[in-house]
Every structure is written in C-alpha cells, then in structure tokens.
C-alpha cells in the first residue's frame, strides 16, 4: 500500500468525490484508509462509566485505498505514486510532477 498515515489524499470516487483530507489511519491488512472528514457515520454509544449519558457520535469510517489518490499540494492535483532510490534511500514520488512525497506523520 503506497498511502501512509499523515498523507494528503483526494477522494476520486463515491459520495465524497473531490474531497481532500489527511489520512488519519492506514489499515494495510484490509487495504483501507481513514480520511479526515470523509465517510462520516453516526454511531450510537451505550452509556458507560466514561460517558454516562451515552448518545450519538459522528466518526470517520474506513474507505478502500483504491478510492483515493495522493494529493500534491505544490502542483494542486492528485497523482499516482512511484518509488525511486535517492542517496541510498527508497523514496516515494508523484508521477505527474516528479516531486518527492513529503513523509507523513508516524
């Protein structure tokens, strides 16, 4: 999976098409990512000691990684990603603009 936590992505299909957001969590075993502000659902919470009233909360749910593309902030467009070796280190780069991808948060 070429998309990591902290990357900026653009949703290319579905209800949230065109939305740009940051990857909150990557789930490589399921080929899914959780993107900030995308695929928001309402979940009912049972009352607990932490939350005695319970209630309804909105949270982001995972979407398939094939529905997003890495977003190049400099070129202002989504692009596919490739790998190349720079100074004995494997780095990701945008195939459209040939710029190196800035590493996301760990």
Q: What is the CATH number of the domain that holds 65?
A: 2.30.30.30
Residue 105 within a domain: no
In this structure, the dihedral spanned by the alpha carbons of residues 73, 75, 81 and 87, taken in order and rounded to 10 degrees, is: -90
Q: What is the CA radius of gyration of the chain?
A: 17
pLDDT score, position 78: 94
Flag whether pLDDT at 42 surpasses 80.
Answer: yes
Q: Determine the pLDDT at residue 51.
A: 85
The token pair at 8 is 């900026």
Query: Measured between alpha carbons, how far is 27 from 89 in angstroms, rounded to an integer?
Result: 24
More confident position, 104 or 61: 61
Give the span between the Cα atoms of 104 and 58, in whole angstroms.
Answer: 25
Confirm if 100 and 93 have CB atoms less than 8 A apart: yes
Owning domain of residue 31? 8-94
Asked if the structure places residue 99 within a domain, the reply is: no
104 band by pLDDT with thresholds 50, 70 and 90: low
Mean pLDDT (the chain) is 92
**Residue 64 domain flag:** yes
Q: Is position 1 within any domain? A: no
The set of long-range contacts for 37-40, using a CB threshold of 8 Å and a minimum separation of 24, is 38/11, 38/63, 39/15, 39/63
- Across 11-40, average pLDDT: 95
């Amino acid at each position: 999976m070429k998309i990591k936590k902290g990357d900026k992505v653009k949703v290319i299909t579905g209800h949230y098409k065109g939305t740009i957001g940051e990857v909150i969590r990557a789930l490589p075993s399921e080929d899914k990512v959780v993107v900030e502000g995308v695929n928001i659902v309402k979940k009912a919470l049972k009352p607990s000691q932490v939350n005695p009233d319970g209630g309804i909360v909105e949270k982001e749910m995972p979407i398939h990684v094939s529905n997003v593309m890495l977003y190049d902030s400099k070129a202002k467009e989504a692009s596919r990603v490739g790998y190349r070796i720079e100074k004995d280190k494997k780095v990701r780069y945008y195939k459209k603009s040939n710029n190196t991808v800035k590493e996301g948060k760990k």
